Amino acid sequence: MENSNRPKLEIRDLKVEYYTKTQTTVALEKVQLSVADGEFVSVVGPSGCGKSTLLKVVSGLLQPAEGAAYIDGQMVQGVPDQVGMVFQNDALLPWKTAFDNVRLPLEIKGLPRDEQIREAERLLKMVGLEGFRDYHPKQLSGGMRKRVALARTFAYDPDIYLMDEPFGPLDAQTRVKIGEEFLKIWEKVGKSVLFITHDIEEAIALSDRVIVMSARPGRIKAEFKINLKRPRPFYDIRFDPVFKELQREIWNQMSNEI
Ligand code: ADP
């Protein structure tokens, strides 16, 4: 039976270790976290605190030493159907055009060809690339490739977006521009997101909740509810006094860990 109070994603008592010949590294310990249906949760923390490790467990790429992740109450074992991942270095297929990269998940889903075309066109337009449909990835800038990658993830339309520094390699202005587009689209789609970033401002501007992790072994150190109304202007919200206060508090928590 469907339980509407059940979190979309739940992480319980998670411990993750990495083993090498000479040592065992505890990357995460006693991590508890839940993400409600449609909630946007960001995780910030110092480099090496286990943020990527956390996403790898949720996406079924890594087996924890203790505890587990649950999606819709089902324990994650192997890559779940419900997740869509956006990583820092998104591999678009270099031999396919922007259009065909976006169309691919629709084809895999088995949509009729005319619907694939209509939907891929709509998504490319949504990310502002309708004029570039026949370009190949190498003919596009880093920001444009990132837009194609986002459109492709929206085409896949997962229940949960797992995003690991998705705007990482972009310059500051492009990062803001793409973040703004992503937020606008997400506010319409309203799916659950678990978003990893080292950028406190980005985390606050996007999220319903920001989680701060401690230095390794990563634990959840603090949690901040972001009570800023939506839809939000991704850039201008930074001038809101509530934003500034959150930024200060989150930075205080994080700076102790660096
Ligand atoms: P973050 O994403 O917060 O920078 P990671 O999750 O990548 O952190 O890594 C957490 C810790 O685990 C780091 O100290 C890192 O060195 C270690 N680690 C990550 N991957 C491996 C691995 N494959 N083998 C051994 N140690 C690893």
Q: pLDDT tens digits, residue range 244-256?
A: 999 999 999 998 8
Residue 63 has pLDDT above 80, yes or no: yes
Which tens digits make up the pLDDT trace of 165-207? 888 778 888 889 889 988 998 998 889 999 999 899 999 999 9
In ligand 1, the atom with minimum distance to the C-alpha of 47 is 4
Residue 22 CB less than 6 A away from ligand 1: no
Ligand 1 centroid, distance to 225 Cα (angstroms):
27
| Domain with residues 1-82+160-258, CATH architecture | 3-Layer(aba) Sandwich (3.40)
Question: Could you read off the pLDDT of 107-148 as tens digits, one per residue?
Answer: 998 999 999 999 999 999 988 899 999 999 999 998 899 889
Q: Compute the distance between CA of residue 83 and CA of residue 101 in angstroms, rounded to an integer.
A: 18
Whether the CB of 49 sits within 6 Å of ligand 1: yes
Domains of the chain: which residue ranges? 1-82+160-258, 91-157
The pTM of this model reads: 0.92
Q: Is 23 in the pocket of ligand 1 (CB under 6 A)?
A: no
What distance in angstroms lies between residue 91's CA and the mean position of ligand 1's atoms? 21
CA distance 129 to 145: 10
Q: Quick one: average pLDDT of 50-72? A: 95
* 29 CA → ligand 1 middle, Å: 13
The pLDDT assigned to 205 comes to: 97
- Give yes or no for residue 89 having a pLDDT over 80: no
pLDDT over threshold 90, residue 81: no
The better pLDDT of the pair 210, 258 is held by 210
Residue 9: which H helix or E strand, with range? Answer: strand 9-19
